[in-house]
Amino acid sequence: TSMEPTGSGCAAVPTDGDGSFAGMAEDPAATAASNNPLLSTLVTAVGEADLVDTLNGPGPFTIFAPTNDAFAKIPAADLDAVLADKDTLTKILTLHVVSGKMSSSELVEAGTVASLEGSDLTIEQAGDALTVNGANVVCQDVPTANATVFLIDSVMMPS
């Protein structure tokens, strides 16, 4: 089934080029994210955690990608500390990744999905709005070559 990216945050995605939805659909997840200007902080974090090869691997994945605005909610000193702590950073980032390519409707139907970090993520829908562990999905069902990406407005933290 073909999915169309939807959500208020989708308007901020470039309309053409490598960072556009069409461009991202041709690239594996980490490469696609690196071309999207909304995800530059996430791309830095993925690089620091040495997860680029994993996220560009065969997958398939469902990825909840915090936008730059999501990372901006974290005090700068805290964010710098996390970026410098590879173990903590890896736990945080793998909490945002689920094995298998799932659409928003499949996620809502499942209700709970297991992250690569090991914690369960709770998916809730209210009208057109989707949340994952309380983080708002601002752009959903973004296809990449090996993943379905959901842009979220908060960075989820492992418990």
Contact 71, 42 (CB under 8 A): yes
Burial 64-74 (b: 16+ CB within 10 A, else e): bbbbbbbbeeb
User: Distance between CA atoms of 123 and 113, rounded to whole angstroms?
Assistant: 8
Residues in the chain: 159
Q: Which two tokens stand for residue 143?
A: 């296809």
- Per-residue pLDDT of the chain (159 residues), as tens digits, is 456 899 999 999 989 999 999 999 999 999 999 999 999 999 999 999 999 999 999 999 999 999 999 999 999 999 999 999 999 999 999 999 999 999 999 999 999 999 999 999 999 998 888 999 999 999 999 999 999 999 999 999 988
What global pTM score does this model have? 0.95
User: Is the peptide bond preceding residue 37 cis, with omega within 30 degrees of 0?
Assistant: no
